[in-house]
Structure 1
Amino acid sequence: MDDDMEMFDVFAEGSGSLLSGNTDKKELLSNSIQKTEMNKRKQKEARERANKLLGELATGNAANKDVVTISSDDDDETDDSDTGILSKRSKKENTAEELPGLASHPRNNIKTVESEGNCSHEVVLPPNMEYVPLKPRTTAPAKMYEFQLDAFQREAITCIDNSHSVLVSAHTSAGKTVVALYAIAMSLRDKQRVIYTSPIKALSNQKYRELEEEFGDVGLMTGDNTLNPDASCIVMTTEILRSMLYRGSEIMREVGWVIFDEIHYMRDKERGVVWEETIILLPDTVHYVFLSATIPNARQFADWVVYLHDQPVHVIYTDYRPVPLQHFIYPAGGSGLYEVVNMQGIFREDKFTEAMNVLSQVGDAGQGGISRGKKGGTAGAPHVVNIIRTLKERDMIPVIIFSFSRKECEAYATQMTNLDFNTEDEKVKVKEIFVNAISLLSEEDSKLPEIGRVLPLLLRGIGVHHSGLLPIVKEVIEILFGEGLIKTLFATETFSMGLNMPARTVLFTSARKFDGKDYRWITSGEYIQMSGRAGRRGKDDRGLVILMVDQQMGQDVAKQIIKGAPDPLNSQFRLTYNMVLNLLRVEGINPEFMLENSFYQFQNYDALPQLYANVERKKRELASYKIDGETEISGYYQMEKQIGVLKEAVKEVVTKPKHLVPFLQAGRLLHIVSNDKDFGWAALLDFHKKANPVDPLGLDVMYILDVLMLLSAESAKNLSDITQLRPPNANEKGVVEVVSVAISCVSEISAVRVKLPQNLKAYEGKQSAGRVIKEVLKRFNGIMPLLDPLNDMKINDSVLQENIIKLQALEKRKDSHPLRENSKFDEIYKQYEKKLELEAELKVAKTELKKAQSLLQLDELKCRKRVLRRLQYCDENDVITQKGRVSCEVSAADELMLTEMMFGGIFTDLATPQLAALLSCFVFEEKAGGTKLADDLSGCLRAMQEYARRIAKVTKESKLEIDEDKYVESFKPHLMDVVHAWCTGASFAEILKKTDIFEGSIIRCMRRLEELLREMVGASKAIGNGDLETRFEEARVLLKRDIVFTASLYL
């Protein structure tokens, strides 16, 4: 078994209990039970405050007070199998509206501490703890620095000297690492162990190198490497720390501090839950240093940690940048940069307008613009080259160029053919570093084309950095960039995370990105993270950020991107089977405990005061509405609704292409309604067909109409996004523009066609057409004659005919309704509509309150337990079985699938290379083209897919939502033949010929596969299956060779 696996204490087999004759483990269990009891006490404290605050809330006197838990006196009781620690609450009788009892955590105390310089300092304290001012250090500091510390660094270090946990929230490159280094130095001085966690293995390797050079007594534990595990300071990934906590590792008994680097990574949808599990499971005796980019809800996060661990947490926040930034826009097709935000942070509206005017003059993405389309071309390469050439001439390098596609990064780099940034001496250094690194490879691997084509770029000071590169090449590029030997680096946004490698300038090749579903504007948080790489402390007086824009963007959009707030730290907590089973295995806590204490639950509790106040406000506002003759008004309203339903039914038939297309002649006036916005009458210019992107087969055809319609001048600045367009307000002068709309936006078809001016591209031509439409409306007194669906359009549809007859009858009744004779009818009707709107808002507000006060995801937990019982992973008493123990060992891939396949014997009949190939489906996640497999591989793939369908069936029967086809397709076979060839001895060059997947992606998949195989070895050992243990180990040995597992240059 590998060293890193030996670090973990394994649970006793049999019942899964921790109590099998181990005194130390009994102590650990006792601590766990004490922690549970402490949480019960917290709930009791909450109840004691509830009655007082509830009365205040009900009368609206607690607007600035916090809501607390209301539970029954028998709160500690549990029901059957699915209510556990802290999760059972009674519903206290409330108002006539029967709002459920308010459930919340006891509120912590918050104290603002006077701080120096440009930072803020708050401390969050447990409810019963008084604030005691921090004591100044009286002895020598644990670590000395050769430079003057910033205010936020001094404040944070004072907290650590007082053995208080601290969250430091500051911009990228502000110097947060200084605080972490001090905590490590103090731990080593005080003979305590300290754990440094990071979100990714590459960052862990880099941190290990830095800390090992600084302190010496440093170890590393990742899925790939274990070095010096007995060291006082251990660098590890958060997944490793979580695994240690679940297994009751003895290391935790000696740990004084845990440092969480890049804690804002907790908002990652896939892996953020690991941070939450880890923070919840850590013992209360540990102190914490959390390092984060700027987050607006830093205090809320600290509040949660205090609630969990009953210790003060300080929040040190600064938005100070040691090197101020200037922000520029480069409009595609233009020839200059426009400073839109200066070094004082002021948005310059005049310069932004100038940039957008340039874009308008050349046309969106015109004249060689940088529009990419969906295939990710690089039409903007000439602009990138021109900008970089200008930056070189003005001594504004090094520069990081961020693109949102790996292929784009490489394509841009290859366009730099005539640029050379390095001197001859620098070229010698580059070659020396490169050759030394590549010497770690075998002779055959060092001749890979992927390695050979990198050196010419590196010699000229040009680099590429993305996840698809060979790891050794990526690390060489990082080292060269850090040494100042790469002046122009083309990178994806992953380069902005963690690695402390700033530049003089940052350039964005686009303001839009594809996020897996849609092309969208980048968020302010993404912009802040990447632009934060601009400006090198101690070298630059300012950093430059350049945003290339290839289409019109509104001023509000630009301000939101460049000047917007950072993304908040929101929980991504979700249940997993591995989590549920591990918590069932540990006595003293249970899955409900994890739910109750999650940041997800905490954030919902935090919203309770506002949600409750919102319900009360809506109720008071609703009670103020007294409408005379409400019964008659209600009847009239229902008739209006029915008319609306019938009109929509008629429209649905009339606007079908087969009925409408014959009447789509140029000049036809059409009534356009889009996104509930009524644009009035528009003149048709032309129409065209295109494939519906939602239809994977491309059989569904969409009709797009080009129409001239009246828009507000402000919204017309960005015609590409119809959702942002709006008609002009009553007192607003509009502009007539050509807009493309879907055929479904047609609300009515007029019988009128107008003759349009010839030149509709010119401003005057469009406005002239607008005047023609206005004149026609005036001629018909605003009531446009419509095409009759039956007589004019000749639609033969009995249902349509019936609906038209009903519609005409209802409209006749409506026009002759007695209420229409009331002079105040319009005013009364608007009041009634407002009342209905308020009733709907109240219903939503009550639903949100009810959801927030309940134990969230409890229903999902019940369903997951149901799945586990049906598949025999645990019994009716939640005692895990042999299958459950196997699943507890697997966290690198789908634990249920792998366990079912293991117990089904599918692995027993496979040759070792086949076994490795099949398991690759569990760890490869990228999109790729189809692959043709040999019969022996396609056979085992089909068998695996059958297991997936069985699990999906049980999941669906257990009332959990699941898309069976998507679940089956989540196991991707695209690297099966590659892994099979590798395990039968093929060279890396040979396997690259089998696929067009990036070489770095192949290596990442194989490394994850090796980690999974190690877990499968442990799972086999846990149930005493020596044969399977040997098979998985053999596969691991076949996999782990040559360039795929070359050691990191940082180690």
Structure 2
Amino acid sequence: MTGPADTPRADAAAPQLDAFAAGLAFPLDPFQQQACRALEGGHSVLVCAPTGAGKTVVGEFAVHLALEAGTKCFYTTPIKALSNQKYADLCARHGKDAVGLLTGDQSINPNAPVVVMTTEVLRNMLYASSTTLIGLSHVVMDEVHFLADRFRGAVWEEVILHLPEDVRLVSLSATVSNAEEFGEWMTTVRGDTSVVVDEVRPIPLHQHMMVGPRLYDLFDARAEPADTPATERRRGVVVDPELAAQVRRRASIDGDRWQSRGRGTFRPIPRPDVIARLDAEGLLPAITFVFSRAGCDAAVSQCLRSGLHLTTDEEATEIRQIVTEHTRELPRADLEVLGFASWRTALERGIAAHHAGMLPAFRHTVEELFVRGLVRAVFATETLALGINMPARTVVLERLVKYNGETHAELTPGEYTQLTGRAGRRGIDVEGHAVVLWQPGVEPAAVAGLASTRTFPLRSSFRPSYNMAVNLIDAVGVERSRALLEMSFAQFQADKSVVGATRGIERNEAQLAKMREQLGGADSEIFDYVRLRAELTDAERQHERKKRQDRRQASVESLVALRPGEIVAVPAGRRTGLAVIIDPDHDVTDPRPYVVTADGWSGRLSAGDFPTPAVVLGRLKLPRHADPRTGRGRRDISSALRSKGLVPPRRAKRSRGGGGDTREIDALRRALRTHPARENPDVEALARVGERYNRLLRDIEHQRRKAAATTDSLARTFERIVLLLSERGYLTGGEDPATTEAGGRLARIYTESDLLVAECLRTGVWAGLSPAELAAVVSTVIFESRGDDVPDVRGPTGPIRRALADTVRLCDELRADELRHRLPTTREPDFGFVTAAYTWAGTASLTESLLAAVATGTELSPGDFVRWCRQLIDLLDQIRTTAQDPALAKAAGRAVGAIRRGVVAVDATAA
């Protein structure tokens, strides 16, 4: 199918496509031919197809067209690992002289006619008006559906909006249900764009459930949905009756026992048995998705203990040689902490884990061995599904629930399809297989629903940021920046939603007219009666609101009066009990004193925690050196608080009495009692109609306000950012602000906490630090702890402690400004990597660095350590080229050199 632009006819002359296809070892599928013909015809293209369908062939054809025309093609990917993989593929096809690589920390042959890069690198080029863009004719955006990513998705839209109009864009996406909408937007902002959608998997996928040791087909192709109970039918597909019967039997035995005994007796089939069963059925190689790093490693250990072997002696010898080749540059001293011996043993048996906690060199070894067919069972987290080329014959899902960063949630149909899309190797398998392991609570009909749903809408995550704002204003000015924001896919979708809301308003207004007629018209007695009832309800609500406000004001005044060291009882909220005031807040509108509670929690309370005014129960002399931001400091203060022996008073009951002026309410009640409409025998029924009328009227007004707010929400956010940046000196003031010198530096800082970094550089709080100290402090703005525990970090040196305190102070001031401007707040610095970064940058070993992190409460896997070091290098390199202070820039450069060594340097090409 095609989108907004007409795709050239299949029989139209396409000499370049014929020449390109002649060099392939396989015939092109119809959708590939269709997209390539559109591209040769001068169109941009959007190609949506399932995993493994061969979308990248269209991108490779764009490379062919550029090389034949003597122009340039950029091939962009969302992550460095994919860039490295694609670089190797294109070098093998076109030779190293024709292909370059740019990934932020790598620059190989950047002036080549074909350059592979991460999308962020291209975005930065566009903002800098790089001369490398001269002669560019085609850009391939692989995995363009990443624009829905809430952290990095805006980059894709920035690139699409900023590319020169004459550049042809090849956008490759997983199958999404709103491809036409996305294509319509692309046509709006890029011009002529053809949408090519293919929903047919090149390798058929069979769905199964494993119940105990037996494998059952999920669907029954012989039955008609109408002949099947609804509990065994979902979205027009029918669950296999043998599977349904077996699940009912198992549920009545295992499931009931599992539920009745506290979910402690159900025993899932052991993982080695699952792999052995698949091996017996000829369904290996298989990827088992576990959704937990520890679970992946535990699965490998279980298979090793079971004695499972999936390789021959000859294969084990070949595996050992490949492992040696991939790890020869790793420091021998680090191999023990990396678990090298057991990892290699598992590989030699054909078994492996794959997750982000592994050293990249280990992951890449697993990937190569799996592609070669030497490793036949991989236990992986879902990160493997994000574009890495590792297809299998079978995909196994142990559970249909995973942790999404905030809570445990059921897999969506899109996630299910992305994971199972790995099953079926093109050119090797005639079919792929997806296996779900049964456990109590897993219904075949629900799995059938996941497997058969094909609605995965693409939603924009585009939001203006500080860095984006200064870059846009510097490049095109404020007015053009607003226009670009209005051209974003986010605004396009918002505007379309407003169209739908407007239609809803029109329908509701028609219903209002019918209700008015039913009530006898707008001037009828019953309408006046309903109006009085509504006024009475509003007056009563306002009276109650006033009472609540008075109570809150009393609480606010009591909080404003608090002083350091005073002990109060927190009567409500999550932190009930005793608390000592550390840092009072005298904001008369919303005071939020910083406290430490008797159970060791520290943070800010609000008036919401005090439904009754705060009462001082005593005083505590605060320990002089206790820092409440550290675990040790909180423990010292809370211990001292508990030693006071105070007991919180019983919670006071809120007053439910009257108070305030009720004359208006009394008058409305009298008017209602004597109203002529009360003579109507149907008054109550009509009054209910009138109440529905008023509710509908309020809904219409709400819809109108929401539509108006949606239409210019991005523009308002941008204007608030401009105001804040102008206040802080990154933009000039006035109607047409421009970037200042500080704004120019902010424009070259690409990190989540971009403005905080710019403030630290501008104010000089990172000046005077040694390279290792600078690495430690800078790590706080990129590192994110995996758990809720706050690391007990005081800083290894005095300069680090002072810089950390100043960084936190600047962040608090910035967050206060952001709240005032109603902007999302900058993430607070995270101290969890401080000690590890300082130790490693001070030339210590990997073992010493990881142990240093553990000593301060941070557990780091080797893979995580390398990943955070790579991100730290990226930011330090930005500081090196951005800092106004030459000494600071020099320290940043030396810190980069100190960190880029050992395991970090070995994996620099694949981080």
Deviation readout 1:583-627 (Å, 9 max, x if unpaired):
221246743133122111111223344332222121112111132
Which residue number in structure 2 is paired with residue 950 of structure 1?
Answer: 813
Deviation readout 1:749-799 (Å, 9 max, x if unpaired):
xxxxxxxxxxxxxxxxxxxxxxxxxxxxxxxxxxxxxxxxxxxxxx99795
1:825-864 correspondence runs (5 A): 827-852=685-710, 854-864=711-721
Deviation at 1:427, TM superposition (A): 0.9
Which residue number in structure 2 is paired with residue 875 of structure 1?
Answer: 732
Partner Cα distance (2:383, 2:730) in 1 = 38
Which residue number in structure 2 is paired with residue 992 of structure 1?
Answer: 850
8 Å CA contact retained: 2:720, 2:823: no
1:81-120 correspondence runs (5 A): 120=1
Deviation at 1:533, TM superposition (A): 0.7
Deviation at 1:447, TM superposition (A): 4.4
Matched, 1:137 2:18: no
Deviation readout 1:871-916 (Å, 9 max, x if unpaired):
1112114222221111111113522222222222222221221111
Deviation at 1:829, TM superposition (A): 5.0
Q: 1:1000 is aligned with what amino acid? A: G
8 Å CA contact retained: 1:451, 1:473: no
**Percent identity of paired positions between Structure 1 and Structure 2:** 28
Matched, 1:231 2:112: yes
8 Å CA contact retained: 2:512, 2:693: yes
Which residue number in structure 2 is paired with residue 252 of structure 1?
Answer: 133
Match for residue 184 of structure 1 among 63, 74, 78: 63
Matched, 1:482 2:386: no
Match for residue 425 of structure 2 among 523, 531, 536: 536
Partner Cα distance (1:1026, 1:1018) in 2 = 10
Q: 2:302 is aligned with what amino acid? A: Q
8 Å CA contact retained: 1:339, 1:348: no
Which residue number in structure 2 is paired with residue 770 of structure 1?
Answer: none
2:874 aligned counterpart, secondary structure: helix
Which residue number in structure 1 is paired with residue 252 of structure 2?
Answer: 361
Deviation readout 1:979-1005 (Å, 9 max, x if unpaired):
111111101122122232111111111
Which residue number in structure 2 is paired with residue 73 of structure 1?
Answer: none
1:259 aligned counterpart, secondary structure: strand
Q: 1:296 is aligned with what amino acid? A: S
Matched, 1:982 2:840: yes
8 Å CA contact retained: 1:326, 1:343: no
Match for residue 1034 of structure 1 among 886, 889, 894: 894
Q: More deviation in 933-942 or 161-170? A: 933-942
Q: Aligned in 2, Cα 1:264/1:154: closer, same or farther, shift over 3 Å?
A: same
Deviation readout 1:227-279 (Å, 9 max, x if unpaired):
11121111000000000000111121211110000111110000000001111
Which residue number in structure 2 is paired with residue 314 of structure 1?
Answer: 194
Q: Report the structure, 1 or 2, having the larger helix content.
A: 2
Deviation readout 1:1028-1048 (Å, 9 max, x if unpaired):
221211111111111112146
Deviation at 1:569, TM superposition (A): 1.3
Deviation readout 1:311-365 (Å, 9 max, x if unpaired):
x11111011012222223446xx55444333679962246475466346424659
Q: Aligned in 2, Cα 1:816/1:605: closer, same or farther, shift over 3 Å?
A: closer
Partner Cα distance (1:698, 1:451) in 2 = 50
Deviation readout 1:802-843 (Å, 9 max, x if unpaired):
89xx99xx9999999998997656754553344334324322
Matched, 1:565 2:454: yes
Deviation at 1:515, TM superposition (A): 1.4
Q: 1:496 is aligned with what amino acid? A: A
1:380-459 correspondence runs (5 A): 382-416=269-303, 417-418=305-306, 419-459=308-348
Deviation readout 1:671-704 (Å, 9 max, x if unpaired):
xxxxxxxxxxxxxxxxxxxxxxx9489999xxxx
Match for residue 940 of structure 1 among 796, 800, 803: 803
Match for residue 927 of structure 1 among 763, 772, 786: 786
Deviation at 1:565, TM superposition (A): 2.7
Deviation readout 1:536-561 (Å, 9 max, x if unpaired):
22333322212235453678854542
1:496-507 correspondence runs (5 A): 496-507=385-396
Q: 2:377 is aligned with what amino acid? A: T
8 Å CA contact retained: 1:325, 1:342: no
Q: 1:192 is aligned with what amino acid? A: T
Deviation readout 1:911-935 (Å, 9 max, x if unpaired):
2211111111122124244233335
Partner Cα distance (2:708, 2:574) in 1 = 38
Q: 2:769 is aligned with what amino acid? A: L
Q: 1:1034 is aligned with what amino acid? A: R
8 Å CA contact retained: 2:8, 2:38: no
Output the TM-score relative to the length of structure 1.
Answer: 0.68
Which residue number in structure 2 is paired with residue 657 of structure 1?
Answer: none
1:974 aligned counterpart, secondary structure: helix
Q: Aligned in 2, Cα 1:161/1:696: closer, same or farther, shift over 3 Å?
A: farther
Deviation at 1:562, TM superposition (A): 2.4
Matched, 1:594 2:484: yes
Partner Cα distance (2:297, 2:700) in 1 = 54
Q: Provide structure 2 residue ranges, at least 5 long, that are not aligned to the other structure.
A: 223-234, 521-525, 546-572, 580-650
Partner Cα distance (2:542, 2:740) in 1 = 56
Which residue number in structure 1 is paired with residue 822 of structure 2?
Answer: 960
Partner Cα distance (2:577, 2:159) in 1 = 46
8 Å CA contact retained: 2:3, 2:183: no
Which residue number in structure 2 is paired with residue 512 of structure 1?
Answer: 401
Which residue number in structure 2 is paired with residue 753 of structure 1?
Answer: none
Q: 2:720 is aligned with what amino acid? A: C
1:608-647 correspondence runs (5 A): 608-625=498-515, 626=517, 627-628=519-520, 629-633=526-530
Deviation at 1:209, TM superposition (A): 0.9
Partner Cα distance (1:235, 1:1010) in 2 = 21
Deviation at 1:512, TM superposition (A): 1.2
Partner Cα distance (1:535, 1:513) in 2 = 24
1:124 aligned counterpart, secondary structure: coil
Q: 2:897 is aligned with what amino acid? A: V
Which residue number in structure 2 is paired with residue 279 of structure 1?
Answer: 160
Deviation at 1:370, TM superposition (A): 14
2:511 aligned counterpart, secondary structure: helix
Task: State the superposition RMSD in angstroms.
Answer: 3.9
Match for residue 354 of structure 2 among 449, 465, 468: 465
Q: 2:822 is aligned with what amino acid? A: L
Deviation at 1:293, TM superposition (A): 0.5
1:207-226 correspondence runs (5 A): 207-216=86-95, 217-226=98-107
Q: 1:415 is aligned with what amino acid? A: Q
Matched, 1:1019 2:882: yes
Match for residue 896 of structure 1 among 744, 751, 755: 755
Q: Aligned in 2, Cα 1:365/1:941: closer, same or farther, shift over 3 Å?
A: farther
Partner Cα distance (1:436, 1:551) in 2 = 45
1:586 aligned counterpart, secondary structure: helix
8 Å CA contact retained: 1:359, 1:552: no
Q: Aligned in 2, Cα 1:611/1:913: closer, same or farther, shift over 3 Å?
A: same
Q: More deviation in 563-572 or 923-932? A: 923-932
Matched, 1:340 2:218: yes
8 Å CA contact retained: 1:372, 1:379: yes
Q: Aligned in 2, Cα 1:811/1:338: closer, same or farther, shift over 3 Å?
A: farther
Deviation at 1:484, TM superposition (A): 0.9
Q: Aligned in 2, Cα 1:481/1:645: closer, same or farther, shift over 3 Å?
A: farther
Partner Cα distance (2:531, 2:685) in 1 = 14
Q: Aligned in 2, Cα 1:907/1:1049: closer, same or farther, shift over 3 Å?
A: closer
Partner Cα distance (1:221, 1:195) in 2 = 10
2:358 aligned counterpart, secondary structure: coil
8 Å CA contact retained: 2:185, 2:489: yes
Q: Provide structure 1 residue ranges, at least 5 long, that are not aligned to the other structure.
A: 1-119, 649-693, 701-794
Q: Aligned in 2, Cα 1:372/1:296: closer, same or farther, shift over 3 Å?
A: farther
8 Å CA contact retained: 1:381, 1:412: no
